[in-house]
Amino acid sequence: MSKKTAPRRSVTAAKPAAKTVRDDAAAGLERMLSRLLTAVASGDPLQAELETATFMAIPSATGEASPEQVEAFIAKFMVDGAVRMRTPDGAALLRLLALLGSPATKRAASQGLAQLTRAGIYPPDWVTEAGKPVPGRAFRRYDVLGDYETIAVTFSYGEAEHVVVAQLDLTGLATADTVGVFPDPGELIEAMNRDNEFQRAEPIALAEARRRLEEPLARCDTDSGADASLDTAIFLPIARSRVRRLPAGAQPPQLFTAADRAAAVDEFLHSPLAAEAVAADRESTRFWAEVLTGYGGRTVGEPPGQVGPHKLAHILLGHVPQIFAVTPARRQHLEPAVTAWTRWSAARRGLDDAASQRLTERLPDVFARFDQAYDDPDAVQIRSYMADLAVSDIDVSWLADQVGRRMFALPMPEPGDTGPRFDAGDPQARRARVEAEFAGCSPPDGLTREQFMAAVHRVICELWDGDPPETFGQASVLYTGGIDRHDVIHALAGSAASSALR
């Protein structure tokens, strides 16, 4: 149907509908703002924190807001709005934003509060207690197979107690995937302390709770809206502020070294559980044992062989396809070697029959999906970045650093990019990618295009190899300072080439 023959009412009908949506959104925003201001006026620190965090999380409800858009929303509707109020409650809201906000929000709120105090407008006394509740008790509930744990810590404002809870995903680097704050902790703590077939509970010291929570909460990313729930986006700033109230100085976890992991592999290879797999193909059995045992090396305190069913799937369908070149012989030996290693892991940890069965029951499904995961174009692309580094007994923490540096030097194709992939392990393919990226750049004054491009290639090679390390150090400083990656390399290349000509 052409534009001329299309019913005109379909166009005009959209206008009232769009206006209704905008009006509804504005009304909803007004209601939430009213709740926020009522909470601030009440003088209840916890309620004021909860409503402030809820308002801050409004952009996260769409799941599409960028970090910059979130900051702009908070600046417009909260910081600027609180300054325009020119009241003690507005000053209190600015104090709460300085407590709970991002570094940019903290700076803006502090500047706004300074503006009000210069005009003689001060926050009420109660707000000085916000963010300073007294820590009480801490509890840990954990999966005996090693995939998850939940940490709960109580805090008190006077007689009023509340609890902060975080569920931690331990399949990769420990990350908080669910965060909550509950004003009435009694029922939740009672549930936390119930054992069941595959979970155990225990009280822990406050310092231990801080050690277990601090980094996982820092890794929890709600900016992108991916995976994280809206509740987690709301409660995360409060949880992070509470963890800073906990004492430091917990006993550090036991350190397991590469030698410990090598000893565990040797123990497995000589165990009766490995005998059949070793007899069929010792080299491939060792490969899979080193890969599985070495995975724990990315986390301080994780003993060799500590896996659960979710972690096994994560290793075999994510970690391995993205890192290791698996020969046909190793692929053929995947099932017997990994099954033997998993049973050995269960026996080594003293798991009972039910837990051992739980650990191994998903393996057939994982084995069936391995080829698809290994041949996935993204996995093939990522693997090419590590072709010269990834051996089965590699230190995976060290390897992660190398990959991060190399992907800075030569980024992966954008998600959804259907263009041809490239072999990052091929120097000529890398050179062609660099030529394509920088061909349109204007050389700095005093440099020919040839001199500039030679310097760009040299910077990319230094970043790729990590030699000298100072190049990546300089790049990191510039990038952290807000300079785009392309512009960082442009600047480093221009500076190096200009220095060489002096």
Tell me what pLDDT residue 416 has: 58
**pLDDT, tens digit, 9 for 90 and up, residues 182-233:** 998 888 888 888 878 899 999 999 999 999 999 999 998 754 444 568 899 9
Residues 265 and 173 in one domain: no
**HSE toward the beta carbon, residue 490, CA cutoff 13 A:** 15
Residues 334 and 387 in one domain: yes
Question: What is the mean pLDDT of the segment spanning 423-432?
Answer: 92
In a domain, 411, yes or no: no
**In the predicted structure, residue 337 carries a pLDDT above the cut 70:** yes
**pLDDT, tens digit, 9 for 90 and up, residues 366-411:** 999 999 999 998 899 999 999 899 999 888 888 988 999 999 999 9
CA distance 26 to 4: 35
25-to-19, 32, 66 alpha-carbon distances in Å = 10, 11, 19
The percentage of the chain sitting over the pLDDT mark of 90, rounded to a whole number, equals 69
Tell me what pLDDT residue 21 has: 42
Residues 169 and 123 in one domain: no
Number of structural domains (the chain) is 4
In a domain, 407, yes or no: no
Angle at CA 493, nearest 5°, toward 488 and 499?
Answer: 125
Q: Is 163 helix (H, G, I), strand (E, B) or coil?
A: strand
Using pLDDT thresholds of 50, 70 and 90, give the confidence band for residue 13: very low
Residues 100 and 201 in one domain: no
Number of H helices, E strands in the chain: 24, 5
Which residues are CB-neighbours of 3 under 8 A, at least 6 positions away? Answer: none
In a domain, 415, yes or no: no
Tell me what pLDDT residue 226 has: 45
- Average pLDDT of the chain is 88
Using pLDDT thresholds of 50, 70 and 90, give the confidence band for residue 239: very high
Q: Of 8-17, 180-189, 475-484, give the lowest mean pLDDT range.
A: 8-17
**In the predicted structure, residue 2 carries a pLDDT above the cut 90:** no
229-to-140, 191, 223, 423 alpha-carbon distances in Å = 22, 22, 11, 37
Tell me what pLDDT residue 15 has: 41
**pLDDT, tens digit, 9 for 90 and up, residues 97-130:** 999 999 999 999 999 999 999 999 999 999 999 9
Residues 98 and 150 in one domain: no
Using pLDDT thresholds of 50, 70 and 90, give the confidence band for residue 419: low
475-to-209, 432, 493 alpha-carbon distances in Å = 36, 22, 11
CB of 222 closer than 8 Å to CB of 59: no
Residues 268 and 382 in one domain: yes
Tell me what pLDDT residue 192 has: 84
Beta 134-143 vs 199-204: how paired, if at all? antiparallel
Residues 114 and 177 in one domain: no
Q: Which amino acid is at 351?
A: L
Residues 147 and 108 in one domain: no
Residues 116 and 139 in one domain: no
Using pLDDT thresholds of 50, 70 and 90, give the confidence band for residue 500: confident
In a domain, 467, yes or no: yes
In a domain, 283, yes or no: yes
In a domain, 197, yes or no: yes
Which residues are CB-neighbours of 267 under 8 A, at least 6 positions away? Answer: 348
Tell me what pLDDT residue 223 has: 45
End position of a domain, from candidates 400, 417, 451: 400
End position of a domain, from candidates 74, 100, 129: 129
**Residue numbers of the domain that contains 472:** 426-501
Question: What is the mean pLDDT of the segment spanning 293-315?
Answer: 91
DSSP result, 342-385: HHHHHHHTT--HHHHHHHHTTHHHHHHHHHHHHH-HHHHHHHHT
In a domain, 41, yes or no: yes
For residue 235, give the nearest of 166, 184, 188, 170 by alpha carbon: 166
Using pLDDT thresholds of 50, 70 and 90, give the confidence band for residue 300: confident
Tell me what pLDDT residue 106 has: 94
Angle at CA 104, nearest 5°, toward 233 and 471?
Answer: 105
Residues 289 and 157 in one domain: no
**In the predicted structure, residue 81 carries a pLDDT above the cut 60:** yes
**pLDDT, tens digit, 9 for 90 and up, residues 15-31:** 444 445 455 556 667 88
More confident residue, 365 or 253: 365
- Bridge partner residues of 168 (DSSP): 149, 176
Residues 143 and 102 in one domain: no
In a domain, 451, yes or no: yes
On the 0-12 / 13-18 / 19+ scale of CB atoms within 10 A, 419 is exposed
Using pLDDT thresholds of 50, 70 and 90, give the confidence band for residue 418: low
CA distance 275 to 270: 7
